[in-house]
Amino acid sequence: MYKEKKSNKIILGIVGALLGLLWISPFYLMLTNSFKTKEELFNDTLGLPKHFNFDNYVNSAKDLDIVNTFLNSLVITVVSVLIIIIFSSMAAYAIRRTDSKWSGVFYMLFVAAMLIPFQSVMIPLIAVFGQVNMLNRPGLVFMYLGFGASMSVFLYAGAMKGIPVALDEAAIVDGASRWQIFSKIVFPMLQPTTVTVALLNVMWIWNDYLLPSLVINKPGSQTIPLTMFDFFGQFTKQWHLAMAGLTIAIIPVIVFYFVMQKQIIAGVSEGAVK
């Protein structure tokens, strides 16, 4: 029995290591090829660079107009995520604390919305927003709220099952309003879920190409994924600069993930299991 358990652990360890290598391989290719010249990249894509060419990063940052595009991506991502967190947590609180059959209906609508692909509503959405002159950054933020709220409400509503209603009742007896109960008691207890919601939406919004290309694809207002497309022309593709640009683009998300890793794991567990 002991030998069988030990052999199972060894097999699981080998499978885990192989899966880890599989998942990390794109990062390896991106990082190693970001230091190669264009000729070296095509001659030896999988190998390590013979010489570390940091000029790729300098030229990539210049072509991307990195300061302006980084600020555009940062503002859109931060504002969108904050709005998603605020409205989604409030909606989940209303659903969980309202004793009505309609609360269940609204919850199921949010869950069902997670299954709707963006491509199915893309054309009518852009047409409607174009008619009301909302094809701009505020309009983009509003769209992100609509598409990001369903999953966020699902996670928040699941986490709120673990918060006793007795806390609300005790606060009401002490004279607290519903807003005070939510903002000072319930929302602080949802910190792990909030971090998870923030990370999932940051990864999505920061790396999104399709929606910004339809809404704000104008010089001076483009995000990093939009300007990254300039490396791929009709007659030439600058893969070495694109790899360097991608490396620069993912650094903020990776840093945020490693800083908040424990809270993220706890938040996913709370939102999906409770």
What is the set of domains in the chain, with CATH numbers?
A: 55-273 (1.10.3720.10)
Tell me the pLDDT tens digit for each residue of 236-261: 678 888 888 888 888 888 888 787 77
Angle between helix axes 55-64 and 66-97 (nearest 10 degrees) is: 70
Q: Virtual CA dihedral for 105, 111, 117, 121, nearest 10 degrees?
A: 30
**Furthest C-alpha separation in the chain:** 73
> Tokens for 263?
């809270």
In sequence order, what are the beta bridge partners of 232?
A: 237
Residue given tokens 């099952």 in the structure block? 161
What is d(CA 38, CA 148) in angstroms, rounded to the nearest whole number? 38
The pLDDT of 141-158, averaged and rounded, is 91
Residue given tokens 């609204």 in the structure block? 106
What is d(CA 84, CA 198) in angstroms, rounded to the nearest whole number? 9
Dihedral angle sign, alpha carbons of residues 263, 266, 268, 274: negative
Whether 209 shows a pLDDT value over 60: the answer reads yes
More confident residue, 116 or 263: 116
What is d(CA 113, CA 93) in angstroms, rounded to the nearest whole number? 18
Going by C-alpha positions, the residue among 229, 251, 231 that lies closest to residue 241 is 231
Give the pLDDT confidence score for residue 60 in this predicted structure: 86
> Tokens for 10?
């060894």
What is d(CA 269, CA 274) in angstroms, rounded to the nearest whole number? 8
Give the pLDDT confidence score for residue 267 in this predicted structure: 58
Say if CB 84 and CB 205 are below 8 A apart. no
- pTM for the model stands at 0.83
